[in-house]
Every structure is written in C-alpha cells, then in structure tokens.
Amino acid sequence: MGDKHSDIENLTVQDFMIHDPLTITPEAKISTTELLMLKKKIGGLPVIKNKKEKQLIGIITQRDIRLARFALNLESPNTSVRDLMTKDPKVVYKSDSIKKTLRIMFENNIERLPVINQNNEIIGLVIQQDILKAIYSHLN
C-alpha cells in the first residue's frame, strides 16, 4: 500500500492533462458556445485572448451559462462569452503535483483547471473526474 501511495504522490498535471484543449474567444456568442459544449460533451472551455495569441483570459462553463439563464433570467442572443466567463481563473502548470491540483479544485469547488505555460498561454486542461478515475484504478 505504501508503494501505491508514493506513486500517486509523484504524479503531476502532465500525467493527466488534455493537451491542446478546445478553446473559445470572448467575442463568441453564448448560444454558439453552449451548443459547442453540448456537441463535444464538455463542461467548460478555456477563454483565450484570440486565435493567434493563446493567452488565457478566462473560463466559461455550462454551469456559468445555466446560472446566468435561470438566476439572472438571461436570454439575450447578443450575450457573449466575455459577459459570463470567470476572469482570471485558477490555473496550474504541467509540473504541478496532483495533490496541489486536487487541493485547488476542492478548496474552490471547481472541476477543471486550465494548464498554462510561463507566458500564460493555454497548453492543456485538467479535469477532476479524470484524476479521480486514474487514482481509483491505481488503487485497485
């Protein structure tokens, strides 16, 4: 059991991250963004400055959209990602430990974290469910 525990302790974000994740720009319409997430079966998208500069500026999730729709009665077709995205989201680096990553997720009640490089460019996405599935498999 000790070996399994130490193996998990040595895991990093790089071991779990989705490389080159789908992204969206702040100008995108919420209706288009929601449809894209439903089609691709994903719960959220990193928001980048523009297609050329992959600098992370936010994150938009299906939960953000649902909350805006029901709590704020938001139905405007002109609503853009910029209006609803979480600005300056929590992030991790590919060398960060899984322990640190899970701590950030649990303490902030978030399920996905953008992975950035030193230039604040998105290079990946790490999802809590993927980490937990791998740890569960590893322990069995």
Which domains can be identified in the chain, with CATH numbers? 2-139 (3.10.580.10)
Predicted confidence at residue 113, as pLDDT, reads 97
Q: How far apart are CA 48 and CA 58, in angstroms?
A: 7
pLDDT at residue number 75: 62
- Going residue by residue through the chain (140 aa), what tens digit of pLDDT does each one get? 445 555 777 889 999 999 999 999 999 999 899 999 999 999 999 999 988 889 999 999 999 898 888 776 666 667 899 999 999 999 999 999 999 999 999 999 999 999 999 999 999 999 999 999 988 887 77
pTM listed for this prediction: 0.88
- pLDDT at position 69, please? 80
pLDDT given at position 134: 85
Backbone phi, psi, residue 119, to 5°: -95, 15
| Whole-number pLDDT of residue 1 | 42
pLDDT for the residue numbered 137: 84
Cβ density class 104-129: b for 16+ within 10 Å, e for less: bbeeeebebbbbbeeeeebbbbbbbe
Q: What is the 3-state secondary structure (H, E, C) of 48-98?
A: ECCCCCCEEEEEEEHHHHHHHHHHCCCCCCCCEHHHHCEECCCCECCCCEH
